[in-house]
């Protein structure tokens, strides 16, 4: 069976890759003592979002794709929680925190929309 979606053509995948790149750039500014703490956590969560979208689109059923999208959505909320903590402990300034929040909300809406589309039009 052929893949229904090529992940590289999905706007949600592209936006989530952009988000991961931004997280890498932002966490470059974190102190070295956070290298194995918040820096690592935020980077892993951010990379997991597009990675799971890509993995899901290689699946042969809507149910399998939906499962991977659900994992991506969970990772996005994990990243949001990490950003809130980083902001509260002073690792993220208000402007950067707000920008990440906007990007995260957009990715979350897009993942949710993709999930709704698949639920309405399974393959």
Digit-by-digit pLDDT tens for the chain (123 residues) are: 344 568 999 999 999 999 999 999 999 999 999 999 999 999 999 999 999 999 998 888 889 999 999 999 999 999 999 999 999 999 999 999 999 999 999 999 999 999 999 999 877
Structural domains of the chain sorted by starting position, each given as residue range(s) with its CATH number in brackets: 7-120 (1.20.1440.60)
Q: Which two tokens stand for residue 63?
A: 């149910």
How many angstroms separate the Cα of 73 from the Cα of each of 48, 88, 94? Answer: 10, 23, 24
Whole-model pTM: value is 0.92
Q: CA-to-CA distance for 4 and 18, rounded, in angstroms? A: 23
């Amino acid at each position: 069976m052929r893949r229904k979606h090529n992940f590289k053509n999905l706007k949600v995948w592209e936006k989530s890759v952009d988000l991961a790149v931004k997280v890498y750039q932002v966490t470059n500014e974190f102190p070295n003592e956070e290298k194995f703490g918040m820096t690592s956590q935020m980077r892993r969560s951010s990379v997991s979002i597009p990675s799971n979208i890509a993995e899901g689109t290689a699946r042969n059923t809507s149910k399998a794709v939906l499962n991977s999208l659900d994992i991506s959505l969970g990772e996005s909320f994990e990243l949001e929680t990490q950003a809130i903590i980083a902001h509260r402990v002073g690792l993220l300034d208000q402007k950067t925190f707000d920008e990440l929040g906007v990007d995260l909300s957009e990715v979350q809406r897009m993942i949710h929309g993709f999930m709704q589309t698949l639920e309405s039009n399974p393959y």
